C-alpha cells in the first residue's frame, strides 16, 4: 500500500489526468499503448539520486527503451488499480531501471513511476534474463482504460502463456464432452441406428435388374433394410429395358408387386412401351400396388418433363391436351388464332410448356388459360385470362402450379422497337389511344401521367384579379391487358376572361378512359383571391396543382398587381399585370 512514507510510487501526469477525466465524462476508451523505462541519469553520474515522479513530466529523465505493452488489466483485488506490464527480452539491456512511464495512443506520457534501482544485464556481459516490468496505477475509473497493442511485437510472460494454455485446454475438454455426451451430435447425418430402417422420402435404387417386365430392385445403402412395403414409400430407378406388357417390381427379398399407372381417373396396368430403356421413373406404393410416376401421377406427366413435342406447327385455334405439352410451335400466318392451355390441375403440377411463334405476320396469336384459370406474367400477380405471342420467334415458357394457374418461367427478350417508348399528347381534345400488342398482351405495363388544365385569371376594370390555379396531376401504372383502345381526354385551360369583369374560368379535366383522371385548376376570383387547385383522382400518385396567388397589396387602387398563376407538376411562371 502506498502511503506518505513510500519511496516508490506511480502517478498520473497532468496530461494523463486530463485524458482520464475526459474518457470518464464522454464514456470513450482511453488507449494506453506503450511502456518506457529509463535510468533517471541524464548526466551519466556514478550514483544518481532516486527520481521522484512529478505530474508535470512530459518525458522520462533518461529513457533508454520504449516498447508496446503485452498486458493491461484491472487488478483482481482492487478495481481502481490497473496493472500495466512489459517484457524485456534477454538480448536487450546493459542499463539501470529506475523510472517507468506509460504512453497512450497519441504518444503522450500519461503516467510515471519510480522503482528500486534494478540492473538489466546483457547476455554478452555474462548474465542475462527476461525482465518483466509492471506498474500498478490508481485511476478514478478503470472502465474506460483500454490496451491497444500490435500482437506481432508483444512478448508474453511464461505465467501468461501457461494460464492461456490451461484455459484453452479446459474449454476444449468441455466442448468435447458436450459433443460426445449428446445423443445426436451430428443432426445433419442419419444415426447408424436409423440407417437400418431408412428407405427415405425418395430412395434411389439405381439400375433395374431382372427382366423387362419383372423388375428386380435393391436398396443401395449396405446397412439399409426394408422389412415390408408401406403406403407412402417412394423409390426411383433407371430402366435398362423397355417393357412389352404388364410389369411387376420386387425390392430386395420382398414379394413382387404389380405396377400401375393413372389413366382417366383409374389405375390401369402398364402397356407395352410405357417404360423406356434409359429413362428414370418414380414408384409410389399405395398400400396395394406401385404407381408409376411422381406421387401417383400418370406416366405421361413424368415423361413430359423431358420430352419435346415434334411434328408440324399448329395452324388453327386449338385446345391443348395433357399429351401435347412440351415445345409447341404455332403458325398464325393464315389468320388470328388462339391456343388454349389444358387445366392446371394437380396431375400437371410442375409440368412446363414452351409456346413459340413461327410466322412473321401481324395476325393476333393469343395464348389463353382454360376456363377461369389464369396466366401469371411478371408484374401481374393476380394473373390474366390470356396473353399474346407478338413477333416471329417470340416464346413463353409456362409452368403449371396444379392450382389453376400457369406461371411464366421464361420468355423472349422483346425487340428494342417495342420494349419501351414515350407517347405524349399536348393539344386539347379527345383521342383513341390504340393499345400496342405488347401492352395488350400484358407483357409490359405502362406508366401514364395526366395533368388537368389550368384555370384562367380574373378580370376587373377597377381592381386586380387573382391568377388561375394549376390543374392536378395523377400518375399510375395501368394494366391494359386485353384492351385494344382507350379513350383519352386532354383538357383545355380555362377560357380567357376578355370582355367583361368577373372571375376566371376553371380548367378542364384530363382522363384516361374511366380508369383515372386529373381535374383542372380553378379560375382566379375578381376579388383578388386565388382559385382552388386541381387534383389527381385514382392514380397511384395524386398531386395537387399549385394554388394561384392573391392580388398583391401595397399598390394604389388603379395600379394593383394581380396574383401569380399557380405552377403545375411540369413547372410554371409568375403572372403579373
**Cα–Cα distance between 564 and 505 in angstroms, integer?**
16
Specify if 33 maps to a domain.
yes
Of 303, 330, 361, the residue at which a domain comes to its end is: 303
Mean pLDDT of 86-108: 92
Specify if 168 maps to a domain.
no
Q: What digits encode the pLDDT tens for the residues 484-498?
A: 899 999 888 877 777
Q: Do 30 and 152 have their domain in common?
A: yes
Count: domains in the chain: 4
Of 388, 413, 438, the residue at which a domain comes to its end is: 413
* Mean pLDDT value across the chain: 80
Specify if 2 maps to a domain.
no
**Cα–Cα distance between 523 and 439 in angstroms, integer?**
38
| pLDDT category of residue 205 using cuts at 50, 70 and 90 | confident
Specify if 206 maps to a domain.
yes
Query: For the whole model, what pTM was predicted?
Result: 0.39
Q: Do 232 and 109 have their domain in common?
A: no
Cell 383522382 -> residue = 537
| Distance in Å from the first CA to the final CA of the chain | 92
Q: Do 148 and 235 have their domain in common?
A: no
**Cα–Cα distance between 459 and 553 in angstroms, integer?**
17
Q: Do 251 and 199 have their domain in common?
A: yes
Specify if 348 maps to a domain.
yes
Q: Do 99 and 242 have their domain in common?
A: no
| Beta bridge partner(s), residue 263 | 266
Q: What digits encode the pLDDT tens for the residues 334-385?
A: 998 999 999 988 777 788 888 888 888 888 888 899 999 998 887 676 788 8
Q: Do 444 and 544 have their domain in common?
A: yes
Show the domain range for 51: 10-162
Specify if 172 maps to a domain.
no
Q: Do 28 and 147 have their domain in common?
A: yes
Q: Do 117 and 262 have their domain in common?
A: no
Q: What CATH number does residue 339 fall under?
A: 2.60.120
Specify if 187 maps to a domain.
no
- Of residues 141 and 206, the one with the higher pLDDT is 206
**Cα–Cα distance between 273 and 262 in angstroms, integer?**
15
Of 162, 177, 208, the residue at which a domain comes to its end is: 162
Q: Do 373 and 433 have their domain in common?
A: no
Q: Do 434 and 323 have their domain in common?
A: no
Mean pLDDT of 471-476: 91
Q: Do 400 and 521 have their domain in common?
A: no
Q: Do 286 and 328 have their domain in common?
A: no
**Cα–Cα distance between 537 and 541 in angstroms, integer?**
9
Amino acid at each position: 500500500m502506498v502511503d506518505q512514507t513510500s519511496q516508490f510510487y506511480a502517478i498520473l501526469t497532468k496530461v494523463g489526468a486530463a485524458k482520464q477525466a475526459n474518457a470518464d465524462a464522454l464514456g470513450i476508451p482511453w488507449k494506453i499503448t506503450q511502456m518506457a523505462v529509463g535510468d533517471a541519469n541524464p548526466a551519466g553520474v556514478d550514483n544518481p539520486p532516486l527520481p521522484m515522479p512529478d505530474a508535470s513530466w512530459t518525458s522520462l529523465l533518461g529513457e533508454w527503451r520504449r516498447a508496446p505493452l503485452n498486458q493491461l488489466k484491472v487488478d483482481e483485488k482492487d478495481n481502481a488499480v490497473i496493472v500495466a506490464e512489459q517484457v524485456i527480452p534477454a538480448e536487450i539491456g546493459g542499463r539501470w531501471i529506475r523510472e517507468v512511464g506509460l504512453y497512450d495512443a497519441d504518444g503522450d506520457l500519461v503516467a510515471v513511476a519510480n522503482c528500486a534501482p534494478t540492473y538489466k544485464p546483457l547476455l554478452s556481459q555474462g548474465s542475462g534474463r527476461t525482465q518483466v516490468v509492471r506498474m500498478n496505477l490508481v485511476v478514478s475509473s478503470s472502465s474506460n482504460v483500454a490496451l491497444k497493442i500490435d500482437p506481432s511485437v508483444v512478448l508474453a510472460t511464461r505465467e501468461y502463456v501457461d494460464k492461456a494454455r490451461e484455459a484453452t485446454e479446459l474449454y476444449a475438454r468441455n466442448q468435447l464432452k458436450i459433443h460426445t455426451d449428446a445423443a445426436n451430435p451430428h443432426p445433419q447425418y442419419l444415426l447408424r441406428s436409423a440407417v437400418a430402417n431408412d428407405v427415405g422420402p425418395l430412395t434411389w435404387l439405381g439400375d433395374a435388374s431382372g427382366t423387362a417386365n419383372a423388375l428386380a430392385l435393391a436398396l443401395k445403402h449396405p446397412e439399409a433394410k426394408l422389412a415390408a412395403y408401406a403406403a407412402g414409400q417412394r423409390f426411383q430407378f433407371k430402366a435398362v429395358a423397355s417393357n412389352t406388357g404388364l410389369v411387376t417390381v420386387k425390392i430386395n427379398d420382398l414379394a413382387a408387386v404389380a405396377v400401375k399407372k393413372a389413366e382417366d381417373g383409374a389405375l390401369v396396368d402398364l402397356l407395352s412401351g410405357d417404360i423406356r430403356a434409359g429413362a428414370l421413373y418414380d414408384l409410389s406404393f399405395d398400400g396395394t400396388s406401385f404407381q408409376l410416376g411422381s406421387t401417383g401421377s400418370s406416366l405421361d406427366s413424368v415423361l413430359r418433363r423431358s420430352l419435346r413435342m415434334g411434328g408440324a406447327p399448329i395452324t388453327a385455334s386449338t385446345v391443348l391436351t395433357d399429351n401435347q405439352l412440351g415445345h409447341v410451335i404455332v403458325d398464325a400466318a393464315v389468320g388470328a388464332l388462339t391456343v388454349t392451355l389444358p387445366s392446371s390441375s394437380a396431375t400437371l403440377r410442375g409440368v412446363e410448356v414452351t409456346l413459340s411463334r413461327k410466322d412473321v405476320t401481324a395476325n393476333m396469336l393469343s395464348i389463353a388459360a382454360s376456363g377461369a384459370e389464369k396466366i401469371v406474367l411478371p408484374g401481374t400477380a393476380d394473373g390474366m385470362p390470356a396473353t399474346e405471342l407478338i413477333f416471329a420467334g417470340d416464346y413463353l415458357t409456362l409452368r403449371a402450379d396444379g392450382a389453376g394457374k400457369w406461371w411464366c418461367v421464361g420468355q423472349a427478350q422483346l425487340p428494342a422497337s417495342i420494349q419501351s417508348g414515350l407517347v405524349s399528347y399536348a393539344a386539347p381534345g379527345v383521342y383513341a389511344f390504340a393499345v400496342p400488342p405488347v401492352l395488350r398482351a400484358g407483357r409490359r405495363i405502362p406508366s401514364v401521367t395526366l395533368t388537368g388544365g389550368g384555370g384562367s385569371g380574373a378580370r376587373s376594370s377597377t381592381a386586380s384579379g387573382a391568377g388561375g390555379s394549376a390543374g392536378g396531376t395523377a400518375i399510375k401504372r395501368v394494366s391494359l391487358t386485353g384492351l385494344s383502345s382507350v379513350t383519352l381526354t386532354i383538357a383545355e385551360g380555362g377560357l380567357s376572361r376578355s370582355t367583361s369583369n368577373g372571375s376566371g374560368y376553371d380548367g378542364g379535366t384530363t382522363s384516361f378512359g374511366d380508369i383515372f383522371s386529373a381535374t383542372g385548376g380553378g379560375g382566379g376570383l375578381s376579388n383578388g383571391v386565388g382559385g382552388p387547385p386541381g387534383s389527381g383522382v385514382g392514380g397511384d400518385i395524386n398531386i395537387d396543382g399549385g394554388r394561384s396567388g392573391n392580388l398583391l397589396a401595397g399598390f394604389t387602387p388603379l395600379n394593383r398587381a394581380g396574383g401569380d398563376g399557380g405552377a403545375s407538376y411540369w413547372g410554371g411562371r409568375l403572372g403579373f399585370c
